[in-house]
Amino acid sequence: MCGLLGAIVGVVAADRWDLGSESGSTRNVASSPVITSALSADDPNLGQSIVAQVTNALSDSVVTISSEVTDVTGSGEAVGTGVVLTADGEILTNAHVVADATSVRVRFAGESEPRAAKVLATDPGNDLALIKIDATGLTPVTFAHPGSVRVGDSVVAIGYALALDGGPTVSTGIVSALKRTIITDSGALNGLIQTDAAISSGNSGGPLVNLRGEVIGINTAVARSDATSSANNIGFSISVDEVLPEIDQLRILANGGVREEGFLGVGLAGRSDGGQGAIITSVQANSPASIAGIKEGDIVLSVDGEPIDGQAALVAAIRDSAPGATVTIEILRNSERLTLSATLVTRTNN
């Protein structure tokens, strides 16, 4: 469709504008050569922008991932991006890139043939997956230090946007916000980096990197306009603070372990008065919340010092806490701030 659009625009332009040719007219043709730069792309005097340096540094560490998918709607192909974690072939991507996949293939920039990959583990709730190819001598990415990302930092997004032929697409922007929470088809994602760097379909699973070439997040979603709201340049990336512990969890799952999620035992609603926090609508008897003294009508403001902006943020914060962990919960009750402690139990499927 993009190619057709370009062709149509070209035809319209030719028909609409007078391009300066007239039947029977005579024109003098210049004989002087066209001036071109003496510097080629690999000339050391040309220099490279920081973005070009970052892109080149990660050229061997960002891959395109193609998945054959079969679900209730039929069969098809999903295309995304991944980053190399280890020299022997571990690759990190989004869970939704390999969801329902019957086969997965990985291709590196500059290579013509894909390599077969195996899905080791997925965590749909956090939208991350670990896959592996049979390889040695790969170039792993370097992750930024947790807590080092700041609003306003310049960033580069790298990924196989729209599954376009050729190498990855590179876009630039800044960190627009931190610790965002969004709702996806798989649940709540929290601790996200918001960026205005262009992120499109196919970028999923690719890196958001700083100007040192360090991965600060894994791109996962983009906000789109709908009938009631307009969105421009709002993309989301799973922050390095969330990614690093999740890699450990995925490796545990790959080795046969079971992921256990924390459980508090409350019903929730969002605030409609413009305030921050999540409203407790119900408390299960004998649950960690009940034992901690949480009551219906309380407003949860933070968990372990992290602000709770809405009900999705509370769901994600409890889900990502280990059963047996004691969390500190700040609540607002009748205009009074209280701090309570709750020891989580294991969430069941009941």
Sign for the CA dihedral angle at 54, 55, 56, 59 comes to: positive
Count of other CB atoms within 10 angstroms of residue 276: 15
Among the options 61, 66, 67, 127, which is catalytic? 127
DSSP per-residue string spanning 53-65: HHHHHTTTTEEEE
Does the model's pTM come out above 0.85? no
Q: Which CATH superfamily is domain 154-254 in?
A: Trypsin-like serine proteases (2.40.10.10)
CATH assignment of 262-346, given 2.30.40.10, 1.10.30.50, 3.60.15.10, 2.30.42.10?
2.30.42.10
Among the options 204, 237, 302, 321, which is catalytic? 204
Instruction: Report yes or no: 319 and 262 within 8 Å, Cβ to Cβ.
Output: yes
Among the options 66, 96, 237, 321, which is catalytic? 96
239 is catalytic: no
- CATH architecture of the domain formed by 56-133: Beta Barrel (2.40)
Residue of 155, 152, 148, 161 whose CA lies nearest to 62 = 161
The structural domains of the chain, with segments of one domain joined by +, span: 56-133, 154-254, 262-346
Cα distance between residue 109 and residue 309, in whole Å: 40
287 is catalytic: no
Question: One digit per residue, pLDDT tens: the chain, 350 residues?
Answer: 333 333 333 334 444 444 444 455 556 676 778 876 776 666 665 667 899 999 999 999 999 999 998 777 778 888 999 999 999 999 999 999 999 899 999 999 989 899 999 999 999 989 999 999 999 999 999 999 999 999 999 999 999 988 888 889 999 999 999 999 888 877 788 889 999 999 988 899 999 999 999 999 999 988 877 767 777 889 999 999 999 999 999 999 999 888 788 999 999 998 888 888 999 999 999 999 999 999 999 999 999 988 898 888 899 899 888 899 999 999 999 999 999 999 999 987 65
204 is catalytic: yes
Cα distance between residue 174 and residue 105, in whole Å: 31
The per-residue b/e assignment along 168-193, b for 16 or more CB within 10 angstroms, e otherwise, is bbbbbbebbeebbbbeeebebbbbbb
Give yes or no on whether 56-133 and 262-346 have one common fold: no
